[in-house]
Amino acid sequence: MEIINPSNIAIDFGLKTLEKRLSKTNSQISLKIGVPREQAANEHRLSITPSGATILTANGHEVYVEQGAGKQANYSDQDYADAGAHIVYSTEELYKKSELISKVAPPNAEETKLLQRNQILLSALHLGNQKVDFFDYLISQQITGIGFEFIQDASHTFPIVRMMHEITGLLSIQIATHYLETRQQGQGILLGGISGIPPAVVVILGAGIIAEYAARTALGYGAQVFVLDNDLAQLRHLENTLDRRVITAVANPSYISSAIKQADVVIGAVMEEGHRAPCWVTADMVSQMKPGTVIVDTVIDQGGCIETSRQTTIAKPTYTEYGITHYCVPNIPSTVARTSTVALNNVIVPFLIDIGDQGGIEQALWNNVALRNGTYSYRKHITKKSLSEMFDRPYREIDMLIASAF
């Protein structure tokens, strides 16, 4: 019988975090794609890996990567140079050379001013933090803005959101477990308990992708898991998926209040696609929770679903209010930057290839439903009704704007 050398497992069986492979296509145009170094606090992810850069350059595109952009995801400048990308030594130079900016966090105020007229911006939008000035600038410069949160394919799946939410759900329980420890001023309890000692109670608000992966992980630890949502179909799906090992309930104020009083961990995962997260837990409810309970508000980038939540950073991730530990980091997947970067690359690179194959952004928006759904700014117009209502700006349907060009 052959004995497997553990050190060779990754080589022998390919058990690595790998990028999706794409074959060379017939690009109609050459895109100049810029990958800046992220300036948002503790944002370590990128949208394109060296392997992705190889694919893009093989298809005739030019890739510009800012010096040091991949450092925190363990990709060196040399990795990108070897892949055919051009290393650029300043953010200003990168924005000037690029037709399309592909990044993770939305541009901050300084980065926004660097956007060039008629550029394409592909990034997250983070509605919980956006100001109207950002959209006004995009409109004035005729920027085509495509948001990760809006990209939805023909099967009604949000591919980028889903991948990041899977990671967030898994990590949320790891994080909560850590902050339950005595040395973190938690209750000093194990999530799964041991023989003769009952497990901790995990309450998950929402029944989407984050909730599913949080529930899977919590169940793996041996915790008792409650999931609350107003969508009965989602609750039914979650029960079936997890073999009825979770307890579900409709998310009315009475059930929410009762559940979080018993909770040792609360995972906030309530989302409304294209809108700010609804607030389900009031400050009064939080004040009645057990001291040392841990709240992980995973939708803080969309405004948060708990009244006492306020945004924190990976460098300073928690604060205490009413004796409750709050963890409200908006970019949780950035704590596993390598895995998250590969996941983003696997979705984004095919979109970039398609833009080139279609001959430009106009034709790509016409033919690619996911990119069209993802567009929130195009030709001096906001193209999402939800954003129009949120920021008091007029909007035009993207379909009408595209049709007028053909």
> Beta strand pairing status for 62-66 and 32-35?
parallel
Do the Cβ atoms of 18 and 342 come closer than 8 Å? yes
| Active-site entry in 61, 126, 326, 381 | 126
CA distance 171 to 39: 23
Q: Does the annotation mark 86 as catalytic?
A: no
Instruction: Sheet with 381-382: list strands edge to edge.
Output: 86-88, 62-66, 32-35, 100-102, 120-123, 144-147, 375-378, 381-382
* DSSP H or E segment with residue 249: strand 247-250
Sign of CA dihedral 70, 73, 75, 76: positive
HSE on the CB side for 215, CA within 13 Å?
Answer: 28
- Determine which helix (DSSP H) or strand (DSSP E) holds 138, and give its type and residue range: helix 132-140
Task: Considering the candidates 61, 301, 357, 381, report the single residue annotated as catalytic.
Answer: 301
275 assigned to active site: no
Q: How far are the Cα atoms of 90, 185, 262, 281 from residue 193, in angstroms, in the given order?
A: 52, 18, 16, 27
**123 CB-contact burial (10 Å; exposed 0-12 / middle 13-18 / buried 19+):** buried
Contact between 140 and 134 (Cβ < 8 Å): no
Compute the CA torsion angle 339, 177, 302, 148 (nearest 10 deg).
Answer: 10
Which helix (H) or strand (E) element contains residue 378? strand 375-378
Cα(351)–Cα(191) distance, rounded to whole angstroms? Answer: 41
Which string of DSSP letters, residue by residue, matches 288-320? TSPTT-EEEETTGGGT-SBTT-----SSS-EEE
Which are the catalytic amino acids? Answer: 126, 301
